[in-house]
Amino acid sequence: MSAPGLTAVAGWDTPLLDGAVYTLEAVTERLPPWRARVEAVARALGGADYWSGPAGTAAATAFCEVSAVATEVTGALAASLSSLQEAARQARAAQETAAQALAAAAASGVTLDEAGGVVAPVPVAAPADASPDVLAAHYDLLAEQAATAERVAATAAEALHAAARAAAAAADSSGPLAPLGGLGASRPGSFGDLAAVVLADGAWIRSCLPVAGTSPEAVAAWWAGLSSRTRDAVTTAEPRLVGSLDGLPAWARDQANRVLLDRALADPAAEGYATARAAADGIAAEEAAGRTVQLWSFDADDHLVALAYGDLDTADDVAFLVPGVGNDVDDLDDLGDDAQAVADAARAAAPVAAVATVAWLGYRPPGSVVSPRAWVEGRAAAGGRALAGDLAGLAAARAADRGSSSAPPRLTVVAHSYGTVVVDRAAEERGELAADALVLLGSPGMDGPASDLEAAEVHEASAPLDPVTWLVDVHGTETDNADFGATPLPTDRDTWHGWYLERDRPTLAAVGEVVAGAREPD
């Protein structure tokens, strides 16, 4: 096929190509959230008791096929889009430059052919009796005509080179679609044909798994690029990775962590059995009541567990409850009660909002406030890293799965006692702390002012009779000190250190308002 001529390039309808690129961009942006909704329906059907048998199995299979095809098509379109965007850019440059070359040729009397060749006007001989000044002017004119012809030729060559680059980029844009059979006579004739092409190559590659240090945003993008079938394969093969990977949605972490939970429950003599039993009992109680519960994190060997009450993937308001000294997995039940009390208070403050709270034992609190400082600081640093990662991971997962019109969830950390020191260390981790609000209850003190904690809102409650709030020489500035800069929440005078979230205390209602984003300044 011959290359287009200069006149044809100047007449290219580049707005039409720009429109096609815009349409493809829109399709590429909308496919991931659409696919996420399809997969949510598939997960709901998979866990439902009301549709079983051949029809239910067929429906689940169909949703898996739709997800797989959507994944591959999204990836192919995204790769194709990059080349098509370059084709559109080069085509605009070629069209504009070709038009400039033709206009310049017409204005200067230069003849310009379709291949960009030029013929300057036939020079007129100077008069025989011309004076030196006339001869000088005559030769200057000839030189100017030659220079103009060279400029026109260079402009025409630039236009044709841009046209060639546009054609090459357009050809490249078809490459990513070829594996799907989307070109020529071999293109699939139906969705079933396309699914067969996609599902024939559904293996995952172990070396492509995220490595330590991968950002939550990169992890979320990696996960979004996997089909549901590949996700299932990765989860089955690597549940420990999937269950703890910051950037994955809560449903995926829950699925993987339940695999680990079942393994830990299989050996009552194992070190982590008590942790597994506590997590399993908490899950069973919620599911028996018909409520959503997710095993956000689980490490039986290290006695770490975080249970989410509600759906972290869809909640409007999310709160992580970080406990303090003396708490361990034996207290998961009590921490869960606190988490649900906070959720109830948030719903009371904003009845239409969906709320999820997390009983977060993602670190091992020290046994008492008088534990050796170096050991205590080590616990705080480890907890801070884990908390910062969990918050960033949830934020990244929610951003990857939501549509462009969906608002992000409001994230609040409700920290009690030594848990406030963990928040302090989390804010010191690399990157901004992914929390909209912090609530510090019964804090033993913070290293710096509230502004160092990187959250737009910092609230605190320090009851007069809470002895832990007097330990400022151990951990730093009192959170109820005006110089610290936190917004105070109400307390009863007789509130003891562990009573802030009791249902008959004013602090709980105020915490619920903070979680819901409905707290009015006093």
Mean pLDDT of all residues in 94-117: 82
- 250, part of any domain: no
Q: Residue 191: pLDDT band by 50, 70, 90 thresholds?
A: low
Mean pLDDT of all residues in 384-410: 86
pLDDT at 185: 47
> How far apart are the C-alpha atoms of 356 and 240, rounded to whole Å?
24
Q: Which of 141-145, 343-347, 440-444 has the highest mean pLDDT?
A: 343-347
H or E element in which residue 307 lies: strand 304-309
> How far apart are the C-alpha atoms of 376 and 417, rounded to whole Å?
13
Q: Considering its fold, how many domains does the chain have in total?
A: 2
Q: Residue 193: pLDDT band by 50, 70, 90 thresholds?
A: low
Q: Which of 279, 230, 243 is nearest to 390 (CA)?
A: 243
pLDDT at 133: 65
**Residue, of 501 and 58, whose pLDDT is higher:** 501
Same-domain status, 400 and 498: yes
- 139, part of any domain: no
Same-domain status, 185 and 316: no
Same-domain status, 281 and 187: no
pLDDT at 451: 95
Same-domain status, 182 and 301: no
Same-domain status, 281 and 184: no
**Residue, of 328 and 516, whose pLDDT is higher:** 516
Mean pLDDT of all residues in 450-454: 95
- 224, part of any domain: no
φ, ψ of residue 458 to 5 degrees: the values are -130, 120
- Please list, in sequence order, all residues whose beta carbon lies within 8 angstroms of the beta carbon of residue 517, skipping any fewer than 6 positions away: 317, 350, 410, 436, 437
- 202, part of any domain: no
Q: Which tokens sit at 438?
A: 């912090």
- 278, part of any domain: yes
CB 260 within 8 A of CB 238: no
Classify residue 138 by burial, with Cβ atoms within 10 Å: 0-12, 13-18, 19+: middle
pLDDT at 187: 55
Same-domain status, 346 and 473: yes
- Please list, residue by residue across 310-328, b when 16 or more beta carbons sit within 10 angstroms of its beta carbon and e when fewer do: bbbbbbbbbbbbbbbbebb
Q: Which of 83, 71, 97 is nearest to 6 (CA)?
A: 97
Mean pLDDT of all residues in 359-377: 72
Mean pLDDT of all residues in 286-314: 96
- 509, part of any domain: yes
- 249, part of any domain: no
Same-domain status, 287 and 187: no
Same-domain status, 167 and 307: no
Q: Residue 115: pLDDT band by 50, 70, 90 thresholds?
A: confident
The last residue of one of the domains, among 194, 213, 242, is 194
Residue keyed to tokens 């730093």: 476
Model confidence at 314: pLDDT above 80: yes
Which structural domain, as residue segments, surrounds residue 65?
Answer: 6-110+159-194
- Please list, in sequence order, all residues whose beta carbon lies within 8 angstroms of the beta carbon of residue 143, skipping any fewer than 6 positions away: none
Q: What strands lie across the sheet with 410-416, from one edge to the other?
A: 293-299, 304-309, 355-361, 317-322, 410-416, 437-441, 457-461, 487-488
Model confidence at 375: pLDDT above 50: no
- Please list, in sequence order, all residues whose beta carbon lies within 8 angstroms of the beta carbon of residue 485, skipping any fewer than 6 positions away: 449, 450, 451, 458
Same-domain status, 388 and 287: yes
Give the domain CATH number at 337: 3.40.50.1820
Reported as a single tens digit per residue, the pLDDT across 141-167 is: 656 667 777 788 888 888 888 888 888
Same-domain status, 286 and 380: yes
> How far apart are the C-alpha atoms of 317 and 410, rounded to whole Å?
5
Same-domain status, 188 and 332: no
- 261, part of any domain: no
